[in-house]
Amino acid sequence: MTADTSTGALRAHPVRDPRRPADSSRRSTGVVIDEESNPDPRRILGRLLRRSSRFDLAIGRVRLASIDFTADDLRPVERCRVLVGGFDNRALLGAVGAASAVPAHSRNLRSLRVIIATGRLQLRSAGLWRWDPDFCLAAGAGLRGWFPAGTAGMVGCLGLSGPVACSIPRLACLVAGTRSTGLLQNSFERLWSVGHDILDVVAAAIDAVPAPASDEL
């Protein structure tokens, strides 16, 4: 699978699993990318989202203010499920309040609140359950130009955790093929089933932050 940098399109090149007979519907494809790739993991994540009708995301540690999705990004998405790791309401209130003082983070929080209002976002915490690494799964007819089965996933660093204090490799793998995406789907469904809803709590925390005096942040 390669990235066409002139168009931003992602083109899959099947990698045959020698243990299995040839079957185009189950072929696994994959490419490893990092933050210096073009496009990088965060851009690929956005492109998958904008071509999906269903999008699932499991991310263990994330700062809400680092999620820079917009309502336009989710326009084609009928259902977006986001699963996060351990959740602490008091810590959430403090983090949201601190983030509101940073212009870019404040914009992200307001965008997240708009997305919540659309009713297409579902948000759960997995409590004590853990997974490693983070992953997402995208599905929809809009992806078939890149992936014939209309599904793709990413595993690893998805570019949503914000900057790190030191320079370390932050790798992700973009995968396709029904066998690989099926594994991701099964894993997500198991985790989702034990999660509890935190959407209203997050919406209330964002609402509790005073609006900026001007939109010019």
Tokens read off for 156? 């690893």
Largest Cα separation within the chain, whole Å, is: 63
Residue with tokens 């003082």: 101
Tokens read off for 129? 């359950």
Q: Which helix (H) or strand (E) holds 96?
A: helix 89-99
Domains of the chain are 27-207 (3.30.870.10)
Q: Where are the beta strands (DSSP E) in 22-134?
A: 29-33, 54-59, 79-84, 121-125
Q: Which of the residue ranges 14-18, 58-62, 144-148, 184-188 has the most confident prediction, judged by mean pLDDT?
A: 184-188
- What pLDDT, in 10s, does the model give residues 141-177? 999 988 888 999 999 988 775 555 556 778 999 999 8
Compute the C-alpha angle 150/44/22, nearest 5°.
40
Query: At residue 113, what is the residue type?
Result: R
Check residue 3 and give its pLDDT.
41
DSSP string, 46-75: HHHHHT-SEEEEEESS--GGG----TTTTT
**Per-residue pLDDT averaged across 118-139, rounded?**
92
**Is pLDDT of 193 > 60?**
yes
Taking the C-alpha atoms of residue 57 and residue 86, their distance in angstroms, rounded to an integer, is 15
Q: Which of the residue ranges 41-50, 92-101, 204-213 has the most confident prediction, judged by mean pLDDT?
A: 41-50
Q: Which residue has the higher pLDDT, 39 or 19?
A: 39
Check residue 206 and give its pLDDT.
85
Check residue 27 and give its pLDDT.
61
Determine the distance from the C-alpha atom of residue 180 to the mean position of all C-alpha atoms in its chain, rounded to a whole number. Answer: 17
DSSP string, 108-159: HHHHHHHHHHHT-EEEEE-TT---SS-EEEEE-GGGTTT-TTSEEEEEE--S
On whether the CB atoms of residues 67 and 112 are closer than 8 A, the answer is yes
**Is pLDDT of 81 > 90?**
yes
Total-model pTM: 0.79
